Chains A and B, each alone.
Chain A
Amino acid sequence: MDLLGVGIGLFALFVVFGFMVGVFFGFFGMGGSFLVTPALLILGYPAPVAIGSSMAFVFGTAVIATMKHHDVGQVDYKLGALMFVGIALGIEAGKMLVYFLDQLGRAELVVGTAYVVLLGAIGVLFVRSALDRSEDEDSDPGTEEEIPEIAKKIKSYNVPPMVTLTDGSKASMWTISGVGGGVGIASGFLGVGGGFIRMPAIYYLIGVPLAAAVGTSLFGALISGAVGTFTYGLDGAVDLSIVTGLLAGSALGARIGSAATAYVDEDDVTIYFGVMLLLASVAVALGELATWLAMPILDRLSFVLLVGSSAFVTAVIFYYGGQAIRTKGNRSVESSGPSE
């Protein structure tokens, strides 16, 4: 039996994987797209389809996340719109690079290798951050309205044309376009939303306060996703069955992940997420080796490793969430119990 042109088993797999990715996105605010492209590559999809479909998934996820952030009112739409040209040009450049490598028959290898490095690097950062936090719990994280020194320094240079942002501060259009274009190339080449680069770039280079930087970065992901869906869609490289399955799962997962933040301390789970990213990096490397050594068993192993580690971290979040809710319930029963 087929659903949207794919077998029902594969469609169900997309829904389940999308659910786990959604839980990570809702809980950590990231981790969505950079697991999707590698999973599709491991499943044997050509690089342009894996990237194009991932970009469409990014678009759908970003629409949902931006709607949630819009309710809180922490999105600088003007800055997002100003980044549009840079993002569009960057994505087109990234896509051209993918198709150039595809013509050489090297797209899967190069994109896969880029993911091995990317997932490994982000995994190490998460593990280090988790270990540092447990050692240094008294450090002052700063406030959400603070702007870092480097951003103040960059803002002090007057390179016209200067534009006024929503918070009243000024930034050079060159910095804004550079951030948009740089992240756009990464998005178009890897099929990611780019939030893990864009959010720090908006905060450190453009100097938007942290709370608004998160929402504005999500809006940037929405623009990237829309442009990426359109530009890869022009070449028929977006598979709607993949996108629909992933979105159906992730929209639910993101709600649960987001709700879990009220109960689960992120510090308890960050190290598992970091290890999962390191395992995902190993999984993609195994997938590349499977092709290189013509050993399909490695392909299966890499898939089990990627999905298995994601399922484990999802289960950890659920376990901590369930424990926290039960503890809260027991406390409220004790406090409302009969007093002598």
Chain B
Amino acid sequence: MIEVAALPPAMQAALLVGVVLVEAVALYAGYGVVERSVAPPIIEALEKA
């Protein structure tokens, strides 16, 4: 297991940038799947309301 706090500050900062990047890509892809499956029935229900 890597101890993050023991890494040099530059490595920690680069790791932080990587974590935010991965979070953003995962959220973009994950919500994309949710949107494709959930959005059409919601819009259809609103159209019929």
Partners in one complex: yes
Residue of B nearest to A329 (CB): B47
Which residues of B are found within 8 Å of A259, using beta-carbon distances? Answer: 35, 39
Which residues of A are found within 8 Å of B9, using beta-carbon distances? Answer: 234-236
* Contact A247/B46 with A56-B16, A229-B16, A255-B35 known, Cβ cut-off 8 Å: no
Bound complex: CA of A63 vs CA of B47, how far in Å?
A: 33
Q: Which of A56, A231, A236, A248 contacts B20 (CB 8 A)?
A: A56
Question: What is the size category of the interface that chain A forms with chain B?
Answer: 20 to 34
**A326 with B23: CB separation less than 8 A:** no
Residue of B nearest to A249 (CB): B27
Q: Which of B13, B24, B35 contacts A230 (CB 8 A)?
A: B13
* Contact A240/B27 with A259-B39, A326-B49 known, Cβ cut-off 8 Å: no
**B24 with A233: CB separation less than 8 A:** no
Query: CB of B6 within 8 A of chain A?
Result: no
Bound complex: CA of A255 vs CA of B39, how far in Å?
A: 10
- Chain A, 228-253, contact with B by CB distance < 8 Å: what is the 0/1 string? 01110111101010011001100110
Residue of A nearest to B35 (CB): A255
- Chain B, 1-21, contact with A by CB distance < 8 Å: what is the 0/1 string? 000000001101110110111
Bound complex: CA of A259 vs CA of B32, how far in Å?
A: 12
Query: CB of A25 within 8 A of chain B?
Result: no
* Contact A59/B17 with A252-B31, A325-B43, A326-B49 known, Cβ cut-off 8 Å: yes
**B28 with A230: CB separation less than 8 A:** no
Bound complex: CA of A61 vs CA of B9, how far in Å?
A: 24
Which residues of B are found within 8 Å of A329, using beta-carbon distances? Answer: 46-49
Residue of B nearest to A68 (CB): B28
Which residues of A are found within 8 Å of B10, using beta-carbon distances? Answer: 234
Which residues of A are found within 8 Å of B32, using beta-carbon distances? Answer: 255
Residues of A whose CB lies within 8 Å of any CB of B are: 56, 59-61, 63-64, 67, 226, 229-231, 233-236, 238, 240, 243-244, 247-248, 251-252, 255, 259, 322, 325-326, 328-330, 332
Residues of B whose CB lies within 8 Å of any CB of A are: 9-10, 12-14, 16-17, 19-21, 23-25, 27-28, 31-32, 34-35, 39, 43, 46-49
Which 7 A-B residue pairs are closest in the complex by CB-CB distance?
Answer: A329-B47, A233-B13, A251-B27, A63-B24, A60-B24, A233-B16, A325-B46
